[in-house]
Amino acid sequence: MRDREPAAEAAAGGFVQTGAWISVPRAVSAEADALILVDAQAAFLTGAQAVPGAERLTERLAALLRRARAAGALVVHLRNDGEPGAVDEPGTPGWQLLLAVSESADEHIVAKDGDDGFHGTKLGPLLDQRGARRVVIAGVLSEMCVSATARGALAHDLEVVLPHDTHATYGLDDIPAPVVSRVAEHALGSDPVFVQKSDAVRFAPPTRFR
């Protein structure tokens, strides 16, 4: 099989050249009407078991949260309920959300006990009720709950924006954490809108509330 032509595959996210996948440039900016923060909990963002770069990641998540609130976008904090003995077991310090929540009609906490924030939760109906159509997904872990929730959003016929600098994970054996995160992005295919920097994301209220 010969290498695919770059021009023919650009719309699908990239092309193969000499045995390597070459990504096309990411979107310069993107707009969304909802922000889904995935598992921004103390267990993963503080202490000895935090993901690499947790402090900087937390700052970027907080900046996204401030901009989403200011614009009137819908904000959802997904909080994982870990199994007994897990670092995110309900009621333990690690289970607590690290970013302060201002619960209102525009800001909600949604509990989950699996990777996909849509499976068996109120997330889908909440987004539908508020009229959200394009969601920013950010948080941890890249290849697990972030990826699964992005797939759940796509299956829910939502548009997904995934900023490269606002999701993270752990290294896997001898594979560095940034590589694991990048492969997780690639595995999502060409359906999400990928942006390199989260500060290029603009928020607006859901269409129903404009």
> Among 145, 150, 158, 201, which one carries the catalytic annotation?
145
Q: Which residue shows structure tokens 């993270």?
A: 168
**Structure-token pair, residue 56:** 């900087």
**∠ CA 8-192-183 to the nearest 5 degrees?**
85
Q: d(Cα 26, Cα 13) in Å, to the nearest integer? A: 9
Residue 41's SS3 state is: strand
Q: Which residue shows structure tokens 């670092």?
A: 87
DSSP type of residue 48 = T
The answer to whether residue 145 is catalytic is yes
Bridge partners for 93 per DSSP: none
Q: d(Cα 64, Cα 32) in Å, to the nearest integer? A: 11
**Structure-token pair, residue 152:** 């759940």
Q: Residue 9: in which H helix or E strand, if any?
A: helix 6-9
Residue 63's SS3 state is: helix
Q: How far is CA 23 from the centre of its chain?
A: 20
Residues forming the active site: 145
